[in-house]
Amino acid sequence: MTSQSIENKFKLPKRYQGSTQTVWNEYTQLFFEHQPLSLAHGFYDDPVPKHITDILAATAQNTDYTLHHETRDLGHPRLIHALSALYSKLIGRQIDPFNEILVTAGAYEGLYAAIHSHIEEGDECIVIEPSFDSYAPVVKMCGGVVRYIPLRLTAPSSSNIISSRDYVLDDAELEGVFNSKTKMIVINQPNNPSGKIFDREELTKIANLCKKFNVLCVTDEVYEWLVYDDNEHIRMCTLPGMWERTITISSVGKSLAITGWKTGWVYAPPNLISRVQVIHQLCVRNVCTPLQEALAIVLENELKRLDSADSYFNTLRLELQAKRDFMVNLLREVGMKPAVPQGGYFILADWSNLENKADLNSESDPQKDYRFTKWMVKNSGLMAIPATAFCHGNKTEMENFIRICFVKSEKNLQKASDILRKWVSQ
């Protein structure tokens, strides 16, 4: 047997082909080669508050053997009760902890299981762009067809002040992507990468089309607590007639700035959740028990102070809002045009005014934003992510933008400021 025949026989199955090279593989490699300051990766680099690490430490040291063995497959009882109490309050409907909640290995697994458990060969799924990069590949893996619809920037190009609110769906385009084959739409708000939050009118338009075409809505709400200024996060499942056709996914990673805990959840009516559970049981089956226990205690504590100013959801939100403001001002001062995010971890910034400060010809990628960010990593020592990485359909709208994570320690924000100011003053 030749090595060639081994290669031929053991190819990556067709359903995964096309999903191998991601922006993350490429930029992580660049990161290790050049060691820039990363505003690319979406995690907070400040110490985790003691009130959280103490709970994790105490759970790890708890000698109750049940906390160190597999727990209930679909979610640790203490955690599903905490989640039920939290979300029943937030959505104004009693959520049954045993039949309407599933604990997953992060939102990532929740998304994977929600899509796999509903998309059949040939089913269409609508994905709003720019979007988080797992939705479309997972739909395709199931044999589904992705219909992309762009969020279009409505602010005039002459305008110096733009907000993620200015990214909107065109009504006719939205209506045009729904048809009798549409099974699902995936929405994400606050959005990664733009920070966009849909207002009630925008959500209602999507909801009405879901009802008209009998479509399921999968809503990714991992940034649900990180909503800035006077913006409001409205949960799709609370809109009239939407609970029965909505699968809501969230996780602890972003909301409490502990992305390594990798614990998420899905809530939906029993008929939908029972299908999502099938995939979970075949794949992950059981999420780490001590982390679920620790998270349950964290949430129980937060529930007691949910409406008070010292709720950690609230103090973290205010802390990150100040970082957003710092980064927005910095980007403006160095000549970029940031779209002020209403929520989340990221800013989309138009870098085109700085084109003459970089040598785009030194890189060979077809997309300008890739060339710009690679030049930045290698020459200025700062890393951001090209915005077209979040678009599979229409890339031209995004080529002038990069995605910047502002959820960074004061020290690193100051370092970013020093790097950017030095670069543009040259």
**Residues within the interface to ligand PLP (CB under 6 A):** 42, 106-108, 132, 188, 192, 220, 222, 251, 253, 259, 262, 264
| Residues whose CB is less than 8 angstroms from the CB of residue 334 and which lie 6 or more positions away in sequence, other chains included | 354, 420, 421, 423, 424
Closest-CA residue to 152 (of 142, 160, 144, 164): 164
Residue 190 to residue 221: CA distance in whole angstroms: 7
With CB atoms as reference, the residue minimizing the distance to ligand PLP is 106
Tokens of 385: 């992510």
Smallest distance, ligand PLP to C-beta of residue 108, A: 3
Smallest distance, ligand PLP to C-beta of residue 154, A: 23
- 259 or 314, CB closer to ligand PLP? 259
Smallest distance, ligand PLP to C-beta of residue 96, A: 23
- 130 or 354, CB closer to ligand PLP? 130
Number of other residues whose CB lies within 10 A of the CB of residue 423: 17
Tokens of 302: 């937060």
- 222 or 320, CB closer to ligand PLP? 222
- 107 or 358, CB closer to ligand PLP? 107
Smallest distance, ligand PLP to C-beta of residue 24, A: 10
CB-count exposure of residue 347 (10 Å: 0-12, 13-18, 19+): buried
- 106 or 341, CB closer to ligand PLP? 106
Residue 210 to residue 29: CA distance in whole angstroms: 41
Smallest distance, ligand PLP to C-beta of residue 404, A: 14
Tokens of 424: 């543009």
Closest-CA residue to 223 (of 89, 405, 381): 405
- 259 or 321, CB closer to ligand PLP? 259
Smallest distance, ligand PLP to C-beta of residue 270, A: 23
CB-count exposure of residue 424 (10 Å: 0-12, 13-18, 19+): middle
Smallest distance, ligand PLP to C-beta of residue 7, A: 33
CA dist list (Å): 185 to 85, 94, 168, 361? 27, 25, 16, 39
- 192 or 286, CB closer to ligand PLP? 192
